[in-house]
Chain A
Amino acid sequence: MDLLRFTTAGSVDDGKSTLIGRLLYDSKAIFEDQLDAIERVSNQRGAGYVDLSLLTDGLRAEREQGITIDVAYRYFATPRRKFIIADTPGHTQYTRNMVTGASTANLAIILVDARKGVIEQTRRHSFIASLLRIQHIIVCVNKMDLVGYDEAVFNKIVADYSEFASRLEVSDIKFIPISALLGDNVVDKSTNMPWYEGASLLYTLETVYIGSDSNHVDPRFPVQYVIRPHTAEHHDFRGFAGRVAGGVFKPGDEVVALPSGFTTKIKAIHTFEGEVQEAFFPMSVTMTLENEIDISRGDMIAKPNNAPVASQDLEAMICWFHEQKLRPNGRYIIRQTTREAKCLVKAIRYKVDINTLHKTENDLEIGMNDIARIQIRTTSPILHDPYRRNRHTGSIILVDEFTNNTVAAGMIL
């Protein structure tokens, strides 16, 4: 059984909680005592229906205010796949939360209200999914029951969305007409829309092919930790522990250690179960090398003929996460793979108006939820690939050196 991580995006009242509730309920991931508990709270509030959003809105403040504050993670499984949902709130701090949820997702579900069609928020959600390089989008046209299951309504939305999406970099977009409330095309194919020839949402989630999404071409092994047992049995053992971020490594491969540039060969790839003959993303392994060379956390093992870019100057798209605005020329801590350095924000190139997707160079004040392109100068070389080529070697966070807060996330261009 494999694993699919997806994020859900939608605006207020478009039925996102209902849809998640239905997926969880129909896959038996909601338990009786959870259902009892939310029924009890719904009744106390006089809601008149079972409010499935109470399943994910776990914090006191969320329940009091009836809003979702933070990303909630939900889990369910079918006999085909295990699923992790990053459920992101529809309103407050939307961008920040959706960027967070999207960073680990293979797929995004974007909900569109059939009565409202493609609106500004639909475009915003799709832009973020595209920015974070989510390869698969499922546009769920919800509330089809309220438009009489009309094929023309669905086709209009497909056409509108497709026209807009041609400007995005998403390779796989699917459209499914659903009613989350009544269950049409969610788990089973609906008999109310015989004109729809595609699969149900759950079947699509179970079968979408994600095997080619990871980079198995460019070998990248960021060193995380050096293992030295200091025991009689393993006296000279010096293993480099880490998680493969791209490509495939095999014993005997000629490799280069960066930033030093020394080359050597892989002696063995170790796991608790014994040595393995290959390692690829997302395996966590430990490598031993033929020669004693100086390697420590933050260094990267790659191939001599296929190495990442090593540079102190980066261009990145960032999303700002903190109430305190970006300080132009400010110093921050940059984290990328297992590497940490200090950096200076040298320039703010432009800000993206998240609603119109227009670039602006007039207003360069970067605050919470803003998306901008910036230039960074780092104190030591960052070993990276463009984010579009590798999510794991192309992503960064910025940390405030005084408060230690994570203030921005970025994608290296």
Chain B
Amino acid sequence: MSQYNLSHLDQLEAESIFVMREVAAQFEKAALLFSGGKDSIVLVRLAQKAFHPAKIPFTLLHVDTGHNFPETIEFRDFLVNKVGARLVVRLVQDSIDQGRCVEEKGINASRNTLQTVTLLDALAEFQFDVAIGGARRDEEKARAKERFFSHRDEFGQWDPKNQRPELWNLFNGRKAHGEHFRVFPLSNWTEMDVWQYIQRERLDIPSIYFAHEREVFDRNGTIYAASPFMQRLPEEKVEKRIVRFRTVGDMTCTGAVDSPAATLDEIIAEVAAARKTERGTRADDRRSETAMEDRKKAGYF
């Protein structure tokens, strides 16, 4: 009966499509959190597959810190146009201007944690009762404990010690009024799976994932892009290097890696040989031992 076997990518895809359809069936109004990064690009493809030939029944939601790489924003608009989806953008700057949150100070200031405020406000504004995210369990130790269907209370909080057990493929999305869910269809995917899938599906991705020359500076071993959003210390000298990014977040917290990988084949070879995790380049995770868990409890992605 060996003809009834699926490859690991096909199995992961089938599982994720099942989860996408459960979201459409169990919830009233869904947002798909779209950042323009590789994981959310895969999410969009899976959503297309799940509902073909109908359109994606979700609204794409981008929480824009204003500190994104311009290439990412350009790509976001290109992809949304290409797949014919509805996109809603909400700005962290607006949340700051409205006094909903306060900008961090100092040279390591980042709008990373402020996004939570804008995100929760946007979910309330549009009455989304579920937000689909691209988080994967292999990314980070707190995420290793996440469910596919993750319950959030009326304050948007995650309670990791009191999660609903999740068995077989029976997902319990029942909730009280005012509560919502976060759903993670890529839970079982690894960084390598995502890259292999992007290659197999020939998905477009932002140019910053590929090697390019960029003005950068070094801070505590992390290579940051020189940008108007980051203050530099006098000793932090800007230089031109050939780099690429393994993850795409804000310019203020996403480090680059020195890399000549200019094609998907080269990226996959590099990921296979990598001895550091992709989030090793993320300053937002390194603020403390449990930085991700603490942010997730507050309602972060």
Partner of B165, one of A96, A248, A270: A96
Smallest Cβ-Cβ distance to B288: which chain A residue: A60
Most buried by B among A33, A230, A242: A33
B residues 166-194 with Cβ under 8 Å of A? 166-170, 172, 174-176, 187-188, 190, 192-193
Contact A229 B21 (CB under 8 A): no
A45 to B52, CA, bound (A): 53
Interface 1/0 per residue, B268-301 and A, CB below 8 Å: 0000001111001000000001100110000000
Partner of A3, one of B4, B8, B138, B160: B8
A397 partner residues in chain B, CB cutoff 8 A: 167, 170, 172
Take A2-B8, A31-B277, A229-B55 as given contacts and tell me if A75 and B190 are in contact as well, using a CB distance cutoff of 8 Å: yes
A70 to B52, CA, bound (A): 36
B residues 9-40 with Cβ under 8 Å of A? 10-15, 17-18, 21-22, 24-25
A297 partner residues in chain B, CB cutoff 8 A: 25
B165 partner residues in chain A, CB cutoff 8 A: 96, 99-100, 321, 406, 409
A residues 66-90 with Cβ under 8 Å of B? 69-75, 77, 81-82, 84
Take A59-B160, A225-B24 as given contacts and tell me if A211 and B5 are in contact as well, using a CB distance cutoff of 8 Å: yes
Take A225-B21, A234-B53 as given contacts and tell me if A282 and B188 are in contact as well, using a CB distance cutoff of 8 Å: no
B247 CB, min distance to chain A CBs, angstroms: 13
B141 within 8 Å of A (CB atoms): yes
B105 within 8 Å of A (CB atoms): no
Partner of A284, one of B17, B144, B275: B17
Partner of B141, one of A55, A224, A283, A404: A55
B157 partner residues in chain A, CB cutoff 8 A: none
Interface SS, A side: mixed
Smallest Cβ-Cβ distance to B13: which chain A residue: A284
A228 partner residues in chain B, CB cutoff 8 A: 54
Chain A interface: which size bin?
Answer: 35 or more
A103 to B188, CA, bound (A): 15
B22 partner residues in chain A, CB cutoff 8 A: 224, 338
B190 partner residues in chain A, CB cutoff 8 A: 75, 77, 82
B81 partner residues in chain A, CB cutoff 8 A: none
A409 CB, min distance to chain B CBs, angstroms: 5
A314 to B29, CA, bound (A): 34
Take A1-B8, A31-B280, A214-B4 as given contacts and tell me if A227 and B54 are in contact as well, using a CB distance cutoff of 8 Å: yes
B24 CB, min distance to chain A CBs, angstroms: 6
Interface 1/0 per residue, A1-32 and B, CB below 8 Å: 11100000000000000000000000010011
A241 within 8 Å of B (CB atoms): yes
A335 to B289, CA, bound (A): 38
A200 within 8 Å of B (CB atoms): no
Contact B17 A406 (CB under 8 A): no
Smallest Cβ-Cβ distance to A5: which chain B residue: B188
B259 partner residues in chain A, CB cutoff 8 A: none
A111 to B76, CA, bound (A): 49
Total inter-chain residue pairs, C-beta < 8 Å: 183
Interface 1/0 per residue, A171-205 and B, CB below 8 Å: 00000000000000000000000000000000000
Take A58-B144, A283-B14, A392-B169 as given contacts and tell me if A211 and B21 are in contact as well, using a CB distance cutoff of 8 Å: no
B145 partner residues in chain A, CB cutoff 8 A: 58-59, 70-72
B51 within 8 Å of A (CB atoms): yes
Contact A404 B174 (CB under 8 A): yes
Contact A270 B18 (CB under 8 A): no
A residues 373-398 with Cβ under 8 Å of B? 391-392, 395-397
A335 partner residues in chain B, CB cutoff 8 A: 170, 172
A103 partner residues in chain B, CB cutoff 8 A: 167-168
A residues 115-163 with Cβ under 8 Å of B? none
B220 within 8 Å of A (CB atoms): no
A225 to B6, CA, bound (A): 23
Take A1-B7, A225-B25 as given contacts and tell me if A286 and B52 are in contact as well, using a CB distance cutoff of 8 Å: yes
Contact A224 B18 (CB under 8 A): yes
Q: How many residues of B contact A (CB 8 A)?
A: 63
Partner of A338, one of B25, B187, B275: B25
B233 within 8 Å of A (CB atoms): no
B293 partner residues in chain A, CB cutoff 8 A: 58-60
B163 within 8 Å of A (CB atoms): yes
Contact B168 A77 (CB under 8 A): no
Contact A99 B167 (CB under 8 A): yes
Take A70-B163, A100-B165 as given contacts and tell me if A60 and B290 are in contact as well, using a CB distance cutoff of 8 Å: yes
A119 CB, min distance to chain B CBs, angstroms: 26
Interface 1/0 per residue, A204-230 and B, CB below 8 Å: 000000011010100000001101111
B86 within 8 Å of A (CB atoms): no
B276 CB, min distance to chain A CBs, angstroms: 5
Contact A409 B167 (CB under 8 A): yes
A241 partner residues in chain B, CB cutoff 8 A: 21, 50-51
B87 within 8 Å of A (CB atoms): no
Partner of A333, one of B7, B144, B174, B289: B174
Contact B14 A399 (CB under 8 A): no
A211 to B5, CA, bound (A): 7
B11 partner residues in chain A, CB cutoff 8 A: 2-3, 282
B17 partner residues in chain A, CB cutoff 8 A: 243, 284
Contact B174 A399 (CB under 8 A): yes
B205 within 8 Å of A (CB atoms): no
Apart from A28-B275, A409-B165, what 17 extra A-B contacts exist at CB < 8 Å?
A31-B276, A32-B276, A60-B294, A84-B188, A99-B165, A225-B24, A227-B51, A227-B53, A243-B18, A270-B52, A283-B6, A284-B14, A284-B18, A284-B50, A321-B165, A404-B174, A409-B167
Q: Can you list 12 A-B contacts with CB-CB less than 8 angstroms, sorted by A residue number?
A: A2-B8, A37-B289, A58-B143, A59-B161, A59-B290, A60-B289, A82-B190, A272-B49, A280-B4, A395-B167, A395-B170, A399-B172
Q: Which positions in A face B, CB cutoff 8 Å? A: 1-3, 28, 31-34, 37, 41, 55-61, 63, 69-75, 77, 81-82, 84, 96, 99-100, 103-104, 211-212, 214, 216, 224-225, 227-231, 233-234, 237, 239, 241-243, 248, 270-272, 280-284, 286, 297, 321, 333, 335-336, 338, 391-392, 395-397, 399, 404-406, 409
